[in-house]
Amino acid sequence: MKKVRDDGNSHVEDALAVVMNPKTGEILSLNGQHYDKESNKYENSLHKTILDTQLPGSTVKGATVAAALEKGVISPGETMYDSPIKIAGSNPIHSYMGDLGSVNDITALQKSSNVYMVYIDLKMGGDFRYPYPSNKGTNADAEEGLKSLRYYFDQFGIGSKTGIDFPNEATTYSGDASTQGLLFYGIGQYDTYSVMQMSQYVSTIANDGYRVQPKLVNEIRNPGDSGKNINSIYKMNDTKIMNKVSIKDEYIDRVQEGFWKAFNEQGGTGYSHWADAKYKPAGKTGTAESEVHEQKTDGTFEKVADTKNLALVGYAPYDDPEIAFAVLVPYLNEKSKSTINHNIGRKIMDLYFEEQEED
Q: State the pTM of this model.
A: 0.93
Dmax (CA) for the chain in angstroms is: 76
In angstroms, what is the C-alpha Rg of the chain?
21
Q: What is the pLDDT of residue 229?
A: 63
Q: Directed axis angle between helix 61-71 and helix 249-264, to 10°?
A: 150
pLDDT on residue 217: 84
Contact 344, 15 (CB under 8 A): yes
Buried b (16+ CB within 10 A) or exposed e, 166-190: beebbbbeebeeebebbbbbbbbbb
The segments of the chain whose pLDDT lies below 70 read 1-8, 224-230, 234, 359
Does 58 participate in catalysis according to the annotation? yes
CB-based contact 248:69 (threshold 8 Å): yes
CA distance to 114, 195, 356, per residue, from 53 (Å): 22, 7, 32
pLDDT at 339: 95
Residues 135-177: pLDDT tens digits?
A: 999 999 999 999 999 999 999 999 999 999 999 999 888 889 9
Contact (Cβ atoms closer than 8 angstroms) between residue 188 and residue 58 = yes
The confidence score (pLDDT) of residue 6 equals: 44
Task: Say what the pLDDT of residue 1 is.
Answer: 28
- Could you tell me which CATH number the domain at 14-358 has? 3.40.710.10
Residue 276 and residue 310 in contact, taking contact as beta carbons nearer than 8 Å: no
Cα separation of 269 and 283, whole Å? 10
Report in angstroms the alpha-carbon separations of 16 from 35, 166, 326.
Answer: 12, 17, 8
Cβ-count burial 259-290 (b if 16+ within 10 Å, e if not): bbbbbbeeebbbbebbeebebbbbbbbbbbeb
Please give the Cα distance from 165 to 275 (Å, whole number): 35
C-alpha 111/C-alpha 344 separation (Å) is: 21
DSSP, residue by residue, 145-194: HHHHHHHHHHHHTSSS----SSTT---EEPPPS-HHHHHHHTTTSSSEE-
Contact assessment for residue 159 and residue 150, using Cβ atoms and an 8 Å cutoff: yes
pLDDT at 225: 63
Q: Are 334 and 222 in contact (CB under 8 A)?
A: no
- pLDDT in the model for residue 222: 72
On the CB side of 278, CA atoms within 13 Å amount to 7
In this predicted structure, what is the pLDDT of residue 294?
A: 83
Angle at 224 between CA 220 and CA 228, to 5 degrees: 100
Among candidate residues 10, 29, 39, 58, the one labeled active-site is 58
